[in-house]
Structure 1
């Protein structure tokens, strides 16, 4: 099985850069007109971008990262053979330097399958490709227009300077000539590129032939080394320091950048900031939006480390995603993807807004009509889910999106979030709606009391209760009882809370197994594998900080990147590879648990 190095920027995502031979299996861009990702892949087992010389030396490349994100490599036998891949932040291009090893073409572009991904990957059954050699002043390059009825997007591939391009299709090999060659095909094809100087491939993306070529011409308009310097400066401004723990420092930064570029994107067609679980097809429900994932897991790190990105994410939640907030999952446009009400998701944008106001009160985002109206709308929707008989709020789905087991739809965690929102929104509500503020203050106290009355049994918090008063003992990493102090519902030395944690981490609890990477599992993954989110929860709870950080330090996860669950014995991935929003929570947990201040909050 290949080991992958994910990389990219807001526009271009490369989830599958292979560590053994530098090949790139696919790339993707976000398109609002597709309500998800457009992913371009190679031909059969052939990657989208191959480096034949590096393939001859497969397994002999050492990789490291500039500023914990930009991958560079050197040959283990000949260190002078080296290269680098860089997708400068905010740009619609990337460049790839590789050593010239004299084994056929320096690069081979193979295009076979095209996918549209919105939660599930769907192969577009019939795509047409128009391949052109494009000339611009003294520069030439290859542009591939991708059609599925209409033009979806265009990709450019070019080597600056003198290079030859060869089309390899079912009728043999043909050299492509600037301003003359144009090939239309619906079948798989390959392009070989031979560079005269040091091999460097520039990859551009846009909505047309001219646009893609122009994106690719950003190198050499600005030299590659200057783009690299700018990218490093940008990343360095967001670097997190963890004194005395190099491993956690690396994981905080790698996961923070992965979250920034794989749980967020800018759409190629509208330039809008959007958020999703992951831009990698290796995550099993990629490229769709969950309020909880983006606002409770991604946002807390982002808003402190990169204010501009945090603000864009908050505006997205109160913009396109507001109308159906609280509904299971949605497309990046805001339309409903999967149905079912989840109380924690309805509350997630309000948790984020309250967090913003604590950090940046002078910005007063609540004064903006859309955010003011959105806040009050969410509170009114919340009221509809109140169960008068108990003074608690109900949900239809649990925080893992699973159906309620046994009718326990009054969840302790969810109602603790209700209290958190109503209490922490007070400074905003007092300014925009004093009567609502008065209600929220009273209701927070009432819900807090109702939780103590109905959801504490035998001296500990239960998972939930049904309409008949029957309770269930259980926990989920996606909305854990261990987070009650984190959300301010109780102190970490609260007797009921301490008893709850003691039970969950005892041999009595069926979703905890003993091993080198012991952490809470749950029903969602069948086998109760330890969840990475559980380790984050341990850190943020304040009572298992050492254990949680030790788990995150030692677990290899997915080549250092967050996954959903790991193997109990090895810490290697079991489920949910390239989990973008979870990566944000990993970075947040490390920074919080180590007492570090994530720099860059004024960016």
Structure 2
């Protein structure tokens, strides 16, 4: 069998096939909960707010500007004295419990301001929203009376899937209803959109609406405006604080979300009744529950930061139905947001959730089976299950059974095997995988590589290794009376992989990426589904000669996608040969370069300390795909494994030398 030939020698590389990545200088803080995400800038302003709308099939966003870097901010902190806004000066900020941003400023030498933004934790429709908590301290020797709250500018409503697009419907701004005062921002179709409700927890509360001259007037209860999307509307939500000399006081703006304005305002009002301090305490208790302890302080911080980000941004609850959905990211800086890749959700996010919240992991697992297992295996989907990218991946099919097995092993919860959706899904996937086997050779054919690029040949080595893992998992998780079609196929499959998925290159046997089983094979390693994970998957030993020779080739100057001599070494993918893929570092944590990977990851300049899709091999900065939530889960989970592993696992496969 001969490796495929290209201009780069025996390696098939495609240049210029990736769309230009989204480049931004924004350094937002991302926070929130499973219902709502806040994107805050360095001045404590909420630049964007989003919710998942399952009916619309994407993230519904409120913002002041049309683009990522446009607009002064949707909600900005404001401190006023006698009706005149004070210049707050520069903010400095820190994170509480790795997730809650807290900003500090000194509007005057005798006055200090602290703004804390957070989303109440837990699954509770009562607290379906977020809070901006303002705390002021008067260091003067006289009493000060201040108006404190938010100044808003809403212009745009976007629906974000892989890219944002402006909604055609007008924006609707209301001032409350007969039951509750406040401000509502309602976006999307009247019968199938969503709304934000703002309510102030404090005394002498006042809601105001701005005009074209920059002046504000009281927004009387029952008033409403309807404007075209893109037309800015300004407003304020304020309360009054009287600070004695040396005194402190608090005020909070509560942000409720719901499918329509009355529900959003009712949620915000309920949050006011509960109180910001209680909600903050509950949020911090949940964050403490999510944390994992380690004596390696720097790595522990990185681990917990990414596990937390994955927990809140790789899944979301639909504002319109309360169901859980997997996502690519809640951060609009990522690019892809409301896009589902089954393999990433099942093999990267699910293990991370098993670490942080097994109950949520179970709910997500069943939700994935319910939504996607009737037509499984496609590279990318919309959140409702419709196919976004139709390339079929054998790895995505296998991810279902592997995830069930991992979940049962991690949680000791075997009751999930009795769920009809799981039984039906596994039976259908077993049939589908069996139908994709070659009629004479025990290998399954696929269409795309893990990263989504078309496979050069139909029989992909990584796919079939995962199929081997899947078949072994069926021995533990199959509960139906009739045996699976793939039963007892693991040994034959392993033998076939070693005999038919290897090629001789300059006198050395190495694993191919894919083969046509006749004469051609491709030498390549997809970094998001890397052959370096074979020992971790127990398919071979760390000292297996073919595997070590393969890794030696892939980490040599002969392999054009290995940037080993650069300041921040790593493996690139062929759709973007110039940048290293972060997921390959996560795989290294589980393979033979764990310590090197740990050291390199700590040197990278990750925005907010969150995993990205790819990094620059010269600067260590994120190249694209910042705030990649499933990758963050992969990183957090891999770090937990790397810190616990004392010696490498031995292989479950035995073959002749």
Task: Judge same fold: TM > 0.5, yes or no.
Answer: yes
Select 1:194's aligned residue among 238, 261, 278: 238
Change (3 A) 1:361 1:172: closer
8 Å contact from structure 2 (residues 167, 188) kept in 1: no
8 Å contact from structure 2 (residues 379, 393) kept in 1: yes
**Alignment size in residue pairs:** 584
1:576 aligns with 2:625: yes
Shift of 1:362: 4.8
1:501 aligns with 2:551: yes
1:511 aligns with 2:561: yes
Query: 1:287-324 deviations in whole A, cap 9, x for unaligned?
Result: 11110110111111211321011101110121111122
1:115 aligns with 2:115: no
1:48 aligns with 2:74: yes
Change (3 A) 1:232 1:6: same
Structure 2 counterparts to residues 406-421 of structure 1, below 5 A: 407-421=456-470
* SS class of match (1:39): strand
Q: Which stretch shows the higher mean deviation, 156-165 or 320-329?
A: 156-165
The aligned counterpart of 1:432 is: 480
Structure label with greater radius of gyration? 2
The aligned counterpart of 2:44 is: 22
8 Å contact from structure 1 (residues 322, 334) kept in 2: no
Change (3 A) 1:100 1:142: farther
* SS class of match (2:372): coil
8 Å contact from structure 1 (residues 258, 580) kept in 2: yes
8 Å contact from structure 1 (residues 455, 462) kept in 2: yes
8 Å contact from structure 1 (residues 169, 188) kept in 2: no
1:340 aligns with 2:376: no
Larger relative CO (CA 8 A, sep 6+): 1 or 2? 2
- 2-structure distance, mates of 1:70, 1:207: 26
1:163 aligns with 2:205: yes
1:532 aligns with 2:574: no
8 Å contact from structure 1 (residues 52, 107) kept in 2: yes
Structure 2 counterparts to residues 124-163 of structure 1, below 5 A: 124-134=167-177, 136=179, 140-148=181-189, 150-161=191-202, 162-163=204-205
- 2-structure distance, mates of 1:55, 1:302: 44
8 Å contact from structure 1 (residues 328, 341) kept in 2: yes
1:399 aligns with 2:450: yes
- 1-structure distance, mates of 2:37, 2:487: 45
8 Å contact from structure 1 (residues 52, 103) kept in 2: no
Shift of 1:447: 1.0
1:31 aligns with 2:53: yes
The aligned counterpart of 2:279 is: 227
- 1-structure distance, mates of 2:413, 2:152: 51
Change (3 A) 1:68 1:475: same
- 2-structure distance, mates of 1:280, 1:55: 31
Structure 2 counterparts to residues 466-485 of structure 1, below 5 A: 466-485=516-535
8 Å contact from structure 2 (residues 170, 226) kept in 1: no
8 Å contact from structure 1 (residues 296, 352) kept in 2: yes
Change (3 A) 1:466 1:169: farther
The aligned counterpart of 1:381 is: 432
* SS class of match (1:27): strand
* SS class of match (1:148): coil
The aligned counterpart of 1:86 is: 118
* SS class of match (1:227): helix
* SS class of match (1:46): coil
1:442 aligns with 2:488: yes
8 Å contact from structure 1 (residues 132, 183) kept in 2: no
Structure 2: runs of 5+ lacking an equivalent: 1-24, 80-84, 138-144, 242-249, 647-657
Shift of 1:254: 1.2
* SS class of match (1:559): helix
Change (3 A) 1:38 1:427: same
Select 2:132's aligned residue among 96, 100, 115: 96
The aligned counterpart of 2:103 is: 73
8 Å contact from structure 1 (residues 242, 591) kept in 2: no
* SS class of match (1:34): coil
Select 2:223's aligned residue among 181, 188, 197: 181
Query: 1:450-479 deviations in whole A, cap 9, x for unaligned?
Result: 100011223221111125331111111111
1:296 aligns with 2:326: no
Change (3 A) 1:396 1:221: same
Shift of 1:57: 4.7
8 Å contact from structure 1 (residues 203, 216) kept in 2: yes
Change (3 A) 1:56 1:433: farther
The aligned counterpart of 1:217 is: 269
Shift of 1:63: 2.1
The aligned counterpart of 2:9 is: none
Change (3 A) 1:362 1:97: closer
- 2-structure distance, mates of 1:33, 1:88: 24
1:592 aligns with 2:641: yes
The aligned counterpart of 1:600 is: none
1:558 aligns with 2:583: no
Shift of 1:105: 6.9
TM-score in terms of structure 1 length: 0.92
